[in-house]
Structure 1
């Protein structure tokens, strides 16, 4: 039978499709990785790797790599379960968060978590929510804070809070002169958004459809800050979350909210982790701290 190390090497090669990058990701030397995979093929009596340019796995190699991921994830969970039994709320948790939330909420939560659980360490990575859910499923991340609304098979999801979304524009935008605004007033108005891979883009797209506004596809921002700045320059309107606007990171220094009588929007934020994870209790405790911090910031 192959060793866990060999399974890890096969998964790395499947993910990178390159012997050098696979070896670097583990890390081991390239000759070691290549020789171990050849030994694995000899043990199993099947060809796993097509050694061409680019490198690829054979059909049986891809199937074994898929099963190897689950095995390696189970081994990680066993190790974490043992750590949880001795240390409780301690150790390092790989934590994923969307950039439309992390910069203005997580700093507050980290201070509170460190005060209540000083032995806990958070390795925080910002990223695209869809990508981070995939990383959670394959074990690269332990827990994710996300606006993705739908439940996902194999994952535990805990709703934390809702925050309002509002439309903002430059202070001299003509619509700010109206005493009363309705959703119909925004028909045809240009609205800025983020990269289409973001869930935030999809929500902004839905808001534009609801208002009859026009989503700008040539000026996609990279962060909420960039949306606020572009809106402040008069390029278009921006949908901004309530927590961001109230934070030190955001603010209304260069944009002004529209008060719309017959329209409102919000988004739900959830914490997600793998079902049956060894640190489920720790993840739930972290989620509770983040929810409490958000409620305080929302007033």
Structure 2
């Protein structure tokens, strides 16, 4: 059946169910708000489409044929399914009542979302996120391919296909073993880490290249043979004295550090940060709501994490 014929057939099924309910073409026409000739012709068209006779008309009234009796219940189910479909579509027209696929880097999501998502749920009870983590480059590729509806990322291309709303700036902290020669200082001179052995994540992470750039500028050495698979493993390698590292501020904020094992500090007059944005496709149906959502993200982050990051916008 051609798609252009489906809507008229749905109307015809509605007419069929109403005639069966009223057992009268005249009463059904009045109930439906159509003329009796129109109703009669539409039932005839449905019978022709189906290849069966639906009603027996006599002086005593209009009765369902045997075939009509068999088709009545499926017809009612079709109409009920149509109503459910329409109701669901109306609900989804409210973007705050939809489930979105959200992508985040593994170096950010576990340390940000526990602070943000509960408050978002309190504001939008029916808003849901299916969260997946991936490196930033994969997040952007997935966004453009339709695998994600939204991503939070420290990097994105200057593309006409993408809209980005900046959320916050996160500092990168310098961490060293507690018995390191520089331990105990809140600020360390950048020149003091020349020739230091710096641990970082694997090169699938954008974070890796940011640290590599910093080390190249400061004359520090990146230990490529001991790259961590996660921030936790990176931290443990520092504790074990295998080197020093830069760790994101939100990760530091989320961890209960033991002062006797690890010292956290910063480089003097050299703030090292990464900027995070909420990113979506410029053709996304929910793009107006996404911009509003970015505002909620910033507000919640400002309330929950003001001591750890700087909110933008």
TM-score of the superposition, structure 1-length normalised? 0.68
Match of 1:146 among 150, 153, 158: 153
Unaligned residue ranges in structure 1 (runs of 5+)? 4-81
Corresponding residue for residue 141 of structure 2: 134
Preserved CA contact (<8 Å) 1:149 1:268: no
Superposed CA RMSD in Å reads: 2.3
Question: Aligned pair 1:121/2:128, yes or no?
Answer: yes
Query: 252-261 or 213-222: which moved more?
Result: 252-261
Alignment length (residue pairs): 219
Corresponding residue for residue 197 of structure 1: 204
The DSSP-based 3-state class of the residue aligned with 1:89 is helix
CA distance in 1, matches of 2:130, 2:186: 48
The DSSP-based 3-state class of the residue aligned with 1:196 is coil
Deviation at 1:89, TM superposition (A): 0.6
The DSSP-based 3-state class of the residue aligned with 2:224 is coil
CA distance in 2, matches of 1:294, 1:182: 30
Deviation at 1:180, TM superposition (A): 6.8
1:205/1:278 CA distance change after superposition, 3 Å: same
Preserved CA contact (<8 Å) 1:93 1:142: yes
1:262/1:91 CA distance change after superposition, 3 Å: closer
CA distance in 2, matches of 1:262, 1:109: 31
Question: Aligned pair 1:285/2:305, yes or no?
Answer: no
1:177/1:287 CA distance change after superposition, 3 Å: closer
Preserved CA contact (<8 Å) 1:151 1:157: no
The DSSP-based 3-state class of the residue aligned with 1:124 is strand
Q: Show the 5 A alignment for 1:52-201.
A: 86-148=93-155, 150-176=157-183, 181-201=188-208
Rg (Cα) greater in structure: 2
Unaligned residue ranges in structure 2 (runs of 5+)? 4-88, 308-313
TM-score of the superposition, structure 2-length normalised? 0.65
1:88/1:107 CA distance change after superposition, 3 Å: same
